[in-house]
């Protein structure tokens, strides 16, 4: 049951295409009246006026007030807007679903066709056409465009959405934009003739800080290239504009946009509708969120009337899938007269069509239970929710400087995130929020989430900056300056990977690495592989590492055993990477029954389709970078022993920080940092002993695990360490 007036079809090139059908006008009318009811609607004229006068607007508004869907539409027919509007999202899920929604609202096509006015661009999936006017893209994709088109000539406006999430990428975008806006205003742009309008949007932003950030950029007389000076920032303490802004923030929330005459940065506040939300805390702390959430879901379902869907926040895909299964099992045993329960997962790696299900209206006599990561916090607005269950945790990236390893850790969320989660319950009516922690624990939470730039591996960010010509990264205008030690570590890492010259200038190799939508480590593996003449194999491995789980996760022991047997001829004693290579090669060779082949081998068909798509794009990219002389139509033969050694040494070159040796006490210790790691149970090398390993992922759950593991020789590691350090 398609709720929209569009049907999706696949174009010959595999791109999704949304096509208007009959009943268009009636549907559009309904959509139009929904649009007009959004809190942002009365601000349309104010927003347009602010951007006619100023080039920068900072816009804050509650989640669901209509920022992401409406603002680009408000600006489309402005006199300055002759080109495309870019709007960035931290997650691909949001970019894709917003593009669909906006195309639907505008009654236009979405995708690659000539008639499509709306499109999206996410990693390895570009759905934009020659006449795209509104383009939703992930932050990483916009950064790539910054490298190709330094003055962003294809855009009339760039809207940076969800700034409060403060991903590293958004911080880089803000720094680049600040300098670009300042250069344009001073007539220092080399090519660009038209103005560039910039809108910074968020649910809970520090407006004052953002206004000051852009204002300082405009005031810096000495601003030159990308290097904004710390010193200049200090002499400009608080600007009059920013002071005024503080006053505005305190004013009654119903105020409309108040453009400031003497201010070069406009601000706008959109007040969302919020009904009261009743808070319930656990009396005692628990670690078993799944169990507590399960009990609560059924208590709410039996006790509370319909309608009223439940939104559960959990840390990640594993807990979500676990709870989904439990809810389904228990729901099957419910009495006939009890309404149905429909469990729907929501996480970044979920296939698109499954994500779209959360927007479908709840069927009659049914309650939806959406099990989500923090995606549903502000990024995606789930309609119909009246009950929120919040486990109080999320997975965050954490870089450990001393180890040089980055890992995903389950950590307590911040107060600000907890408040956002609670708010999801009161969007359409009064609601309830159950926190699976004590009130005391809530009071002990940090006020805000630490920006990613202060806690993650910066090597990718710095490579991007260097590729854009920022030589002095220490003085780059960061909204929050990362610690010097972290910058130093990242520079060192890039030096080790050969991305920088000794002088700190980006190398030929580094420029190539920056052009890949991959981490510098994976980029390095490819560049190395081109030298060692095993690039096609390396591309296959990197493609497989770029998707979630190629091998299906099996829950029962019986199924696990069955899968082990079925996959035996894919497994390689050299480890997971060669196993992935064989899997990709066999799948690619299987021309007729790929789906059946996947079923027989307990391999995810969807994941493999993605792998082949990524492989195709990486092959094309390598060809355009002259790393590959031609794109072969078939798969190379299974690698010889000699070639296997080459492939593993390429991995080693990129992942030298992720190497460990076998110790007499039967543990593995990293070569650099001497940290104990265990081989993850999902690895084909689990419980195997080998003199040294290289791993592509470091995860910390109950303990430190190496995931994606290959067996290598001790001497090889030594050799690379000798050469690099």
Helices 24-36 + 92-106 axis angle, to 10: 120
Task: Tell me which of 55, 59, 60, 61 binds ligand ADP, using CB under 6 A.
Answer: 61
Which CB atom, from 98 or from 343, has the smaller least distance to ligand ADP?
98
Q: Is 68 in the site for ligand ADP (CB under 6 A)?
A: yes
Smallest separation (angstroms) from ligand ADP to the CB of 346: 12
Give the whole-angstrom CA distance, residue 653 versus residue 647. 10
Which CB atom, from 66 or from 510, has the smaller least distance to ligand ADP?
66
Q: Is 248 within 8 Å of 269 (Cβ atoms)?
A: yes
Residue 694: strand pairing partners? 659, 710
Which CB atom, from 203 or from 692, has the smaller least distance to ligand ADP?
203
And the tokens for 120? Answer: 């999206």
Which CB atom, from 151 or from 271, has the smaller least distance to ligand ADP?
271
Give the whole-angstrom CA distance, residue 41 versus residue 34. 10
Q: Is 64 in the site for ligand ADP (CB under 6 A)?
A: yes
Which CB atom, from 339 or from 383, has the smaller least distance to ligand ADP?
383
Stretch that binds ligand ADP, among 64-72, 183-191, 275-283, 410-418 (CB under 6 A): 64-72
Stretch that binds ligand ADP, among 58-66, 140-148, 246-254, 687-695 (CB under 6 A): 58-66
Stretch that binds ligand ADP, among 95-103, 300-308, 455-463, 630-638 (CB under 6 A): 95-103
Q: Is 383 in the site for ligand ADP (CB under 6 A)?
A: yes
Q: Is 426 in the site for ligand ADP (CB under 6 A)?
A: no
Q: Is 65 in the site for ligand ADP (CB under 6 A)?
A: yes
Residue position matching structure tokens 């899938």: 321
Task: Tell me which of 359, 597, 662, 700 binds ligand ADP, using CB under 6 A.
Answer: 359
Residue 711: strand pairing partners? 693
Smallest separation (angstroms) from ligand ADP to the CB of 290: 27
Distances (CA, A) of 392 to 163, 277, 373, 446: 22, 17, 11, 12
Secondary structure class of 446 (helix, strand, coil): coil
Q: Segment 608-667, which members bind ligand ADP (CB under 6 A)?
A: none
Task: Tell me which of 73, 381, 519, 521 binds ligand ADP, using CB under 6 A.
Answer: 381
Strand order in the sheet with 431-435: 277-281, 431-435, 385-390, 309-313, 366-372, 340-346
Give the whole-angstrom CA distance, residue 470 versus residue 227. 7
Which CB atom, from 100 or from 594, has the smaller least distance to ligand ADP?
100
- Size of the chain in residues: 725
Question: What are the residue ranges of helices labelled H in 11-161?
Answer: 24-36, 44-53, 67-75, 92-106, 139-148
Residues touching ligand ADP: how many (CB under 6 A)?
17
In 102-163, where do the E strands start and end?
A: 109-110, 116-122, 125-127, 134-138, 155-160
And the tokens for 637? Answer: 């033969």
Stretch that binds ligand ADP, among 57-65, 182-190, 324-332, 553-561 (CB under 6 A): 57-65
Q: Is 432 in the site for ligand ADP (CB under 6 A)?
A: no
Q: Is 100 in the site for ligand ADP (CB under 6 A)?
A: yes
Smallest separation (angstroms) from ligand ADP to the CB of 68: 3
Smallest separation (angstroms) from ligand ADP to the CB of 67: 3
Burial (0-12, 13-18, 19+ Cβ within 10 Å), 31: middle
Give the whole-angstrom CA distance, residue 605 versus residue 607. 5
The 8-class DSSP code of residue 346 comes to: E
Which residues of the shown chain bind ligand ADP in the complex (CB under 6 A)? Answer: 38, 61, 63-70, 97-98, 100-101, 359, 381, 383
């Amino acid at each position: 049951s398609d709720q929209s007036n569009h049907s999706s079809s696949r174009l010959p090139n595999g791109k999704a295409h949304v096509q208007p059908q009959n009943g268009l006008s009636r549907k559009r009318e309904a959509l139009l009246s929904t649009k007009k009811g959004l809190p942002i609607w009365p601000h349309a004229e104010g927003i347009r006026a602010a951007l006619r006068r100023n080039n920068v607007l900072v816009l804050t508004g509650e989640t669901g007030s209509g920022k992401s869907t409406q603002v680009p539409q408000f600006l489309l027919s402005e006199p300055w807007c002759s080109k495309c509007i870019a709007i960035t999202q931290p997650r691909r899920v949001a970019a894709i679903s917003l593009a669909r929604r906006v195309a639907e609202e505008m009654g236009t096509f979405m995708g690659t066709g000539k008639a499509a006015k709306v499109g999206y661009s996410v990693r390895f999936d570009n759905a934009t056409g020659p006449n795209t006017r509104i383009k939703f893209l992930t932050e990483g994709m916009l950064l790539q465009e910054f490298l190709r088109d330094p003055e962003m000539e294809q855009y009339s406006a760039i809207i940076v959405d969800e700034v409060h999430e403060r991903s590293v990428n958004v911080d880089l975008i803000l720094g680049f934009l600040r300098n670009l806006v300042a250069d344009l205003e001073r007539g220092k742009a080399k090519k660009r003739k038209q103005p560039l309008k910039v809108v910074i949007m968020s649910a809970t932003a520090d407006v004052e800080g953002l206004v000051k950030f852009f204002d300082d950029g405009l005031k810096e007389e000495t601003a030159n290239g990308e290097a904004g000076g710390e010193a200049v920032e200090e002499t400009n303490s608080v600007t009059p504009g920013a002071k005024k802004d503080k006053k505005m923030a305190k004013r009654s929330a119903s105020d409309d946009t108040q453009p400031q005459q003497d201010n070069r940065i406009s601000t706008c506040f959109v007040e969302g509708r919020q009904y009261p939300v009743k808070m319930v805390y656990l009396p005692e702390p628990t670690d078993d969120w799944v169990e507590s959430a399960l009990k609560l879901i059924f208590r709410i379902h039996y006790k509370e009337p319909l309608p009223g869907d439940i939104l559960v926040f959990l840390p990640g895909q594993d807990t979500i899938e676990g709870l989904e299964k439990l809810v389904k099992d228990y729901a099957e045993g419910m009495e006939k007269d009890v309404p149905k329960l429909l469990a729907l997962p929501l996480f970044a790696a979920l296939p698109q069509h499954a994500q779209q299900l959360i927007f479908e209206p709840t069927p009659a006599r049914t309650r939806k239970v959406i099990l989500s990561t923090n995606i549903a916090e502000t990024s995606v607005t789930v309609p119909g929710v009246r009950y929120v269950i919040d486990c109080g945790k999320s997975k965050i990236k954490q870089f450990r400087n001393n180890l040089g390893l980055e890992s995903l850790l389950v950590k307590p969320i911040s107060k600000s995130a907890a408040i956002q989660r609670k708010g999801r319950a009161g969007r359409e009516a009064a609601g309830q929020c159950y926190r699976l922690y004590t009130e005391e624990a809530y009071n002990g939470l940090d006020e805000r989430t630490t920006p990613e730039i202060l806690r993650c591996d910066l090597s990718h960010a710095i490579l991007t900056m260097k590729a854009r010509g920022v030589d002095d990264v220490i003085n780059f205008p960061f909204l929050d300056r990362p610690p010097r030690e972290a910058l130093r570590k990242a520079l060192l890492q890039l030096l080790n990977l050969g991305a920088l010259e000794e002088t700190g200038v980006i190398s030929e190799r580094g420029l190539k690495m920056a052009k890949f939508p991959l981490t510098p480590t994976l980029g390095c593996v490819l560049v190395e592989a081109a030298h060692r003449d095993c690039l096609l194999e390396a591309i296959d491995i990197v493609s497989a590492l770029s998707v979630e789980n190629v091998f299906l996760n099996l829950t029962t022991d019986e199924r696990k055993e069955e899968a082990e047997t079925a996959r035996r001829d894919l497994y390689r004693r050299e480890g997971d990477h060669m196993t992935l290579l064989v899997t990709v090669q066999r799948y690619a060779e299987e021309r007729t029954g790929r789906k059946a082949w996947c079923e027989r081998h307990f391999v995810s068909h969807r994941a493999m389709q993605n792998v082949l798509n990524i492989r195709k794009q990486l092959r094309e990219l390598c060809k355009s970078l002259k790393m590959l002389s031609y794109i072969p139509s078939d798969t190379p033969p299974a690698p010889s022993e000699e070639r296997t050694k080459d492939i593993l040494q390429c991995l080693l070159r990129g992942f030298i920080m992720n190497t460990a040796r076998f110790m007499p006490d039967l543990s593995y210790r990293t070569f650099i940092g001497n940290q104990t790691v265990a081989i993850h149970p999902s690895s084909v090398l689990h419980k195997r002993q080998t003199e040294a390993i290289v791993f592509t992922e470091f995860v910390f759950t109950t303990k430190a695990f190496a995931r994606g593991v290959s067996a290598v020789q001790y001497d090889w590691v030594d050799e690379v360490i000798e050469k690099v350090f």
